[in-house]
Amino acid sequence: MWRKASAALLLALAVGYFYGGRPELPEQILQYIGLPNLQTPSQSNQDLERAISAAWEALIALPSRQWTKVAVGVNACVDVVVSGVGLLQALAVDPGAGRDHEVLHSKDDLRETFIHYMERGAAAERFFSDKEVFQRIARAAAEYPGAKLYVGGNAALIGQKFATYPDLMVLLCGPVGPKLHEMLDEQIVVPPESLQEADEFHLILEYKAGEQWGSTQAPQANRFIFSHDVSNGEMSSLETFVASLEEFQPELVVLSGFHMMEGQGKELWGQRLKEAVAAIADIPKGIPIHLELASMTDKDFMSRLMQEVLPIVSSIGLNEQELLFLSQAGDGPHAAVPAWKGVPDVGRVGDILSWVLERHGRTDPSSESDLTRIHFHTLAYHILATVDGYWGNQAAAVMAGARVASSQACGLRTVDVSKVELKAPLEFLTSHFEPRERLSLKPEEPVAVWQRGNVTFHLTPVLVCKRPLRTVGLGDAISAEGLVYSELTRQHPF
């Protein structure tokens, strides 16, 4: 009954806007009346989820040519995972108003920034500048009931995911201490130069959907990460990583850890970024490079990454916060949007992805850029955007990434349809600009495909885990799985 009443109210509002001389409807109303209800009575008992999961199993296939050697670097650490609210309460920190800080200098900064992202249900990562205070917090975290230690750092997590494929040799370079080395998969090769006496620890403060602290309630499960990590912050293993490639002879290189530079200050990261670009330039041109991005707050730093790093890599992976910040830093489309509300609008996401490839990629054959692929992931859906002629098997790749997000978040090896739910729109506009299309997703064919110029987009929904056991590392697993199922179809221009 309430659904009918709501629909009638919205229709009345729409008519009022039209006859009141304002034919442009608010976006929220357009989305509500333009998109189908995802769960109708005829589609109860996980019918949609079951159909999508079955389609994934039928359609996902490895490419005819697969990678046999992958080199991954350069951030690695040990993650200490705890309840965020529980740890802050144990530190005698009281809840209050949220406020974002680019660098954390105190427990108060930690509290305010944690609340800022918890109330949005968004992931973030920050550098903690005070070594002694961080170590006290780290000790409290390690002693907190239920605290768990995991392999951490984007590079190490991506390496771990690659290592689940027995025919794939994996080289990992990064600051690997004794505890991390012990936890790594036996299939991963770590050069002796990457081993160090002490581990780098990152604190992962997790919260559940609906969890409350004071007046703050999390709209969805997520995590907040912080560390005092100088080795990863300086990307000190990068030159060792590049030097090791000659002997290892990889077919694919995966880079991550650039976001850790931010906390070092502009003078330090400015110089180190120049050195990093020079080191990447030494990687043989025939090897494709994937760059995994992570949470950043400094627009100058992001702008430099766009100008200097994106054109020298072949592929990037990123989530909704990173994509929007990239557009804000480069004055791209929808840069005035302060933050996503709910499920990111597919049209806006498509506009920004297209802009990145046109501005910093190789949509123009005469361009000197190497960038031809972007793997975008958000909670409800994933998109792979590729310049035509360089990558194959992308429908399978985007589905494989979504499938691993659905299973891994629930702590399972396969998707259990009773534990997941569909949150993606089954109908959407491909852009906020003309020309654009309205596309529909069919559960039995769960990939929507559209074209913009010479860029092809593949979108698939995610079956979102209702009660996620662990959110850390999902983006890394998604990108790694997407790369495993991707095939390079043209060597040039890499």
Would you please indicate which residues are annotated as catalytic (active-site) residues? 476
Phi, psi of 398, deg, nearest 5: -70, -35
End-to-end CA separation in angstroms for the chain: 58
> Tokens at residue 492, please?
């040039």
CA-based nearest residue to 395, from 328, 460, 337? 460
Cα gap 253→35, rounded to integer Å: 40
* Torsion (CA) 135, 217, 379, 228 in degrees, nearest 10: -10
Cα gap 403→470, rounded to integer Å: 16
- Burial letters for 457-479: b for 16+ Cβ neighbours within 10 Å, e otherwise? bbbbbbbbbeebebbbbbbbbbb
- Region for residue 14 given its phi and psi (left: phi exceeds 0; alpha: psi -120 to 50; beta: otherwise): alpha
Local structure of 145: helix, strand or coil: coil
Give the Cβ contact number of residue 358 at 10 Å. Answer: 18
Please state, in angstroms and as integers, the Cα–Cα distance from residue 212 to each residue in 81, 112, 121, 225, 459, following that order: 19, 15, 12, 19, 33
> Tokens at residue 40, please?
């109708």
Residue with tokens 């040799």: 169
Please state, in angstroms and as integers, the Cα–Cα distance from residue 449 to each residue in 120, 128, 320, 357, 385, following that order: 30, 42, 20, 17, 10
Burial of 9 (0-12, 13-18, 19+ CB in 10 A): exposed
Cα gap 458→228, rounded to integer Å: 38
Those residues with Cβ within 8 angstroms of residue 74's Cβ, 6 or more apart along the chain or in another chain: 155, 173, 174, 232, 235, 237, 238, 241, 255, 256, 257
Contact between residue 16 and residue 26 where contact means Cβ atoms under 8 Å apart: no
Residue with tokens 């780098």: 200
H-state helical runs in 60-177: 84-90, 107-118, 131-143, 154-162
Cα gap 315→483, rounded to integer Å: 10
